[in-house]
Structures are given as structure tokens and as C-alpha cells.
Amino acid sequence: MAETDPGATQRDQTPDIATELAAEGFECATEIGRGGFGVVYRCEERTLDRVVAVKVLTTYHDSEGVARFLREQKAMGRLSGHPNIVTIYRVGTTGAGQPYLVMHYHEPGSSRH
């Protein structure tokens, strides 16, 4: 009978997020924020030579939730350009099925006021 690690968590069984983001074209992922819906990483998008913020959602795990997330981000994308809304560049899902959104990155302490 195979033994299982009683301390293992779902997080232990998911692919390394830096590897997942690199497969999507986002390298050097560094966690810069965490909240109730996901984790935000500062990443380098080398194909376009820019730094971006990538939010990986942790609350949408079923296909219905992912579809709802993608619809909501399409609506948010139409609001790009508003001075009080972060510009969304892209949305998608990683190879492991985790939804993410790519946004304009603002340096800590920067302000657009």
C-alpha cells in the first residue's frame, strides 16, 4: 500500500507557477502581491521587451468559473485607457488551467495623479 504525505496540500501538487508563466512567455516571475482571489507577479515579457504584472487567479478552478473570468476580463479590456483603471493587455489560462491576466506594471510608489 502506497503511503501518502498527510502534510501534502493542493499547492504541493500544482506545477511551479514560474514554470507555467514561462511557458506562456512571462519570465523572471517575482511575487509582488497576494489577495483573496489570486497572486500578482512582476514578470518580463521578453517578446515585447517590457515588464508586466501577471495576476494568477486561485479561486476559479472549474470550467464555468474560468469562462466567467474570461468574460469579465473582456469587459474590463474595453475600459482600457481610463486613468483610474489598470490597462489589461491579455488574458488566458496556463497549461495547468490556471486563469491569468496580464496588466500594465507600475513601479511601487508610482502614481499617475
pLDDT attached to residue 112: 54
Mean pLDDT of 29-49: 93
Q: Contact 92/51 with Cβ under 8 angstroms? A: no
pLDDT attached to residue 42: 97
Strands (E), 1-113: 27-34, 38-45, 50-57, 88-93, 99-104
Where are the chain's structural domains? Answer: 13-104
DSSP one-letter string for 23-40:
HTT-EEEEEEEE-SSEEE
Q: How far apart (Å, rounded) are the C-alpha atoms in residues 17 and 25?
A: 12
Q: How far apart (Å, rounded) are the C-alpha atoms in residues 48 and 13?
A: 32
For domain 13-104, the question of CATH label 3.90.1640.10 is answered with no
pTM: 0.75
